[in-house]
Every structure is written in C-alpha cells, then in structure tokens.
Structure 1
Amino acid sequence: MRALGFALIFSGLALACTTPFYPTDPSLRWRYRVLNDNQVYTQSFVSNGPNALLERRQFADRTETTPWSCTPQGLQALPQEERPIPGGSVRLTRLAGVVLPSGRWQVGESWTYRYELKGRVAFLEFTGFLEVENRVVARETVVVPAGRFEALRVEATFKGEFGLAFGGRATYWFAEGVGVVKQVSEGSFGGISSELIEFRR
C-alpha cells in the first residue's frame, strides 16, 4: 500500500490508484476464507474511471461491491447502499480522511478516518459517526493457506455513536505486493476474521 499511482496505463487501461500494500491491478485475483462461517470469496478490481475503482467480492450466493476513489493522500471508500445492523440499517454519508494512505507504511506510523452515519433502528431515525484509528505496530512473518508472507501488522481501533456508543478492534496483516493476507476483528456488532487462501498474478 504505498506509492500511490494515478491513472497508470496498463494494457491500454487507465488504472485508478494502487499502492504497494494494497494493489488494485484488474489482472490480480485473491481468494479468502471467512473463518467465522467458512465462506469463501474471490476479490478483484475493475477500473471505474480515471481516479476510481470498483472492488468486487464474489461469494457463492452473492456479489458485494465497494467503490474506491483516488486522492493524492490515498484511497477512499464510501459505499452508497444501506447496510443492515441489529434492528435496523445504516448508511455512510460522508468520509473525512483516507482509508488506505499513500504513505505512512512504516512501523510507528498512524492515520485516522471518520465516517458520518445516518439510518434507523426500529422506528427511530439516527445520525452518528464511526472513527477508525490505525497504527502500524510491527513487521511480522504470517503463514496462511496462500503461503508465508512478510507483512506489516496494523492495529485498528473503532469508536462511534449511533443511538448508543459502540466500538471495536481489528488487526490486519498487509504484505507488500499482495495486500491483506489476514484479518481478525471484534466489536459491539460482532466481528469477522479471514485469511488469504490463494493469490494469482
């Protein structure tokens, strides 16, 4: 995830942005296993304009998409659809900061981003926020089904408010040239853990 590349020309296509620790080349494919329920999905990217990408996660029974945009500071994601939560749904309405920065990929570096939220629980309408603080805490060797990787361990702390206060923590392992090879999270609304089982160039 570093060294943000704008409108790179590859096979005649303008790639939105990419970084060494989160590559977005449309020719790449990742397969992950969700450890909570043993589901498997394939992740890929397609160009969605000169400074935009669409990330696709293809499960056996559904496809999830996330739009990404490129800024000089890094990659931003602002999904437009409502997302279910216990008793209701929530939508992300605004993002301040970048989800994946163009720099700061060294042990000891950190970054923060914040989403504004709008939605409902039962019959009540709420607004709120979600703030995520990320810190690169170590360089480690990680072994997953896809292989053995040298990775940066990023600790993320989530806090927010949406009717009630909520929070959580996540750990991500990012390998240069590959992206996320493992993640573990837990929080007020549950968590998700996954690992890379195949990476194809």
Structure 2
Amino acid sequence: MKLTPRKISVIIAICLIGLAACSNLSNGPEAQPVVLPYTQVASLIPNTGELCNNPLYPVRQGASWAYINSGGPNGTFAYSDTISSVRADGFTITSQIASLTRTQEWACEAGGLKALELGGGTTANITAQGITAEFTTSDITGISLPAVIASGQQWNYDLKIHGSIPMPTEQQAESTGTYSIIMQEIGWETVTVPAGTFDAVKIQANSTVEILVPFGNEQVPMKYTGASITWYAPGVGYVKLVENWDLGGGPYTATTELQTYMIP
C-alpha cells in the first residue's frame, strides 16, 4: 500500500506496500539499473501465465534489496529484504534490521501480489502514548501490487486487527480495529537514488489505522492517517519511498532509498 518492525510513535510496525522490513546489510556488488520508457513496460509481462510474475517486482529466489530510511522518529537506519522462498502461488520475504529477522508471506493471485502478513507472522505492534499493544491480523482483502497497472488506476488493501492493550491497572483490555490502504498510479518519473537512476512508476498510498481503545466502560475510537509515494522501477522493485504520518506526537516525513540490489 508498504507494511517492518520499527518502533514509531503510532504505526503498525511494517513497511507494508514497500515490500520491506529492516536491517543492516553490507553493500554488495552494484548492479546496473534497469531503465525503461513507459511504452516498454508491457513487454516485461511474461506470457507464461505464472501468477508470481510481476513487471514491477521481480519474484526471484535469492533476489535482495538493501535500503536506508531517514527522517523518521527513530533516526537513520538500514534494512534489507530477501526473497527466501518461491512457490507457484506465493513467496516468502525475509527481512532484517540489525539483529532482528522477520519473515512475511505473500500470495500470487490472478490480480497481482498480496501480502498475507504484516511481517513476522500475523501480528502487528502499535505504540501510542508509551503503551505498546500487539494485534493479530485477519480478514485481509485486496491487492498489494497489481499484475498490470493502468494509468490512474486505483486499488485497495485492507485488514482487521484484534488484540490486547495494557492498562494502567496492569490489566489487559481487548481492542479491535482496521488498517486500510487506498493506492493509485499517479504517473512516471525519473528518480535517482544511491543504487542508480531509474524511470519509475509512482504509486500514491493513503493509509488509515482505526482502533477502538477501552477507556473506562467505553470504547473510544482513535484514528491515524498517513500518505506515501512509492517509486517502482520495472524489473527492479521499489527504489524510493516517501512517507508522511500524523501520529499524534507531531507529523513527520521519512524517506527510504535503495542502496544496492541483486536480481538473479
């Protein structure tokens, strides 16, 4: 939408639509960027009928990407994604930030690629006002990255969350909520990052987290919103991500850029 364990003020701890989690990754050999004009993108779509083929995100066993994120509440940090397993109907991304390793399962459907988890299994952490709650995710619908994207196309990705919130009395209170992303193709742009210069499609995502927080005998609704733009280069994956969040502790803008990548 893009979906990583980061300890931010209030946010599900995953770069969901970015297909990323976080890690320290030493720089490997630099690969040459793939730069294609818009008219050539259709030729990247294979004719094999394989569900996992996607022109904007190469699902290849052993493919890896190294990123650096800056500007967020946690300062600057590095992370990596590696496709550790590929199946006919899905694949696994193994992500790292420092010594933390997480996996995320993805499904390959006729409509495109869909994240089945937010990373590290079917759980997500939300931190607000010093209280961290762990939620179970379920009822995932929509698509994370369509197989074919038309100019101006819009799509959705949604899920439900349910879990317990620690209370001042040291008791646990049940809480439920939703996480929704509305995405749209907004054009093409040449973008330069440490990994190279790419012609990339821009995908805008508007994210909404809504949860019911117990307060006394009532359930108080809380809502947090964010917006992002992700640049996807054909045959490479996402090369840049800019996120804007208003999380109650003050708005911020975080930028993620591709450092190195390797596509087998």
Normalised to the residue count of structure 1, the TM-score between the two structures is 0.85
Q: CA RMSD in A?
A: 2.3
Contact 2:85 2:93 in 1 (8 A): no
- Whole-angstrom distance in 2 between the partners of 1:193 and 1:42: 15
What percent identity do the matched residue pairs reach? 26
Query: Are 1:167 and 2:205 matched, yes or no?
Result: no
Q: What does residue 19 of structure 1 align with?
A: 54
Q: C-alpha displacement at 1:22, in angstroms?
A: 1.1
Q: What does residue 197 of structure 2 align with?
A: 148
Q: C-alpha displacement at 1:5, in angstroms?
A: 7.8
Q: What does residue 184 of structure 1 align with?
A: 242
- Whole-angstrom distance in 1 between the partners of 2:77 and 2:61: 23
Contact 1:91 1:118 in 2 (8 A): yes
**Which of 100, 103, 108 matches 2:145?**
100
Rg larger in 1 or in 2? 2
- Whole-angstrom distance in 1 between the partners of 2:197 and 2:146: 25
Q: C-alpha displacement at 1:18, in angstroms?
A: 3.0
**Which of 133, 136, 144 matches 2:185?**
136
- Whole-angstrom distance in 1 between the partners of 2:92 and 2:65: 15
- Whole-angstrom distance in 1 between the partners of 2:253 and 2:52: 28
Q: What does residue 89 of structure 1 align with?
A: 134
Q: C-alpha displacement at 1:39, in angstroms?
A: 1.9
Which runs of no fewer than 5 residues in structure 2 stay unpaired? 1-40, 167-171, 213-221
Count of aligned positions: 193
Shift of the 25–63 alpha-carbon distance from structure 1 to 2, 3 Å rule, reads same
- Whole-angstrom distance in 1 between the partners of 2:55 and 2:122: 29
Contact 1:18 1:25 in 2 (8 A): no
Query: Are 1:70 and 2:70 matched, yes or no?
Result: no
Q: C-alpha displacement at 1:97, in angstroms?
A: 0.9
Contact 1:5 1:18 in 2 (8 A): no
**Which of 117, 121, 128 matches 2:165?**
121
What amino acid is the match of 2:158? R
Q: What does residue 11 of structure 1 align with?
A: none
Q: What does residue 58 of structure 1 align with?
A: 96
- Deviation track 1:128-161 (CA, whole Å, cap 9, x = no partner) reads 2111110111200101000101011111011231
Contact 1:5 1:17 in 2 (8 A): no
Shift of the 126–116 alpha-carbon distance from structure 1 to 2, 3 Å rule, reads same
- Whole-angstrom distance in 2 between the partners of 1:99 and 1:5: 22
Secondary structure at 1:183's aligned position in 2? strand
- Deviation track 1:66-118 (CA, whole Å, cap 9, x = no partner) reads 110111111111223322211212221111111111122x3311111211111
What amino acid is the match of 1:99? S
Which runs of no fewer than 5 residues in structure 1 stay unpaired? 9-15
Which protein has greater RCO, CA pairs closer than 8 Å, 6+ apart? 2
- Whole-angstrom distance in 2 between the partners of 1:115 and 1:4: 30
The structure in which a higher percent of residues are strand is 1
Q: C-alpha displacement at 1:4, in angstroms?
A: 7.6
- Whole-angstrom distance in 2 between the partners of 1:173 and 1:70: 21
Shift of the 147–197 alpha-carbon distance from structure 1 to 2, 3 Å rule, reads same
Q: What does residue 68 of structure 2 align with?
A: 33
Shift of the 191–45 alpha-carbon distance from structure 1 to 2, 3 Å rule, reads farther
**Which of 134, 142, 156 matches 1:112?**
156
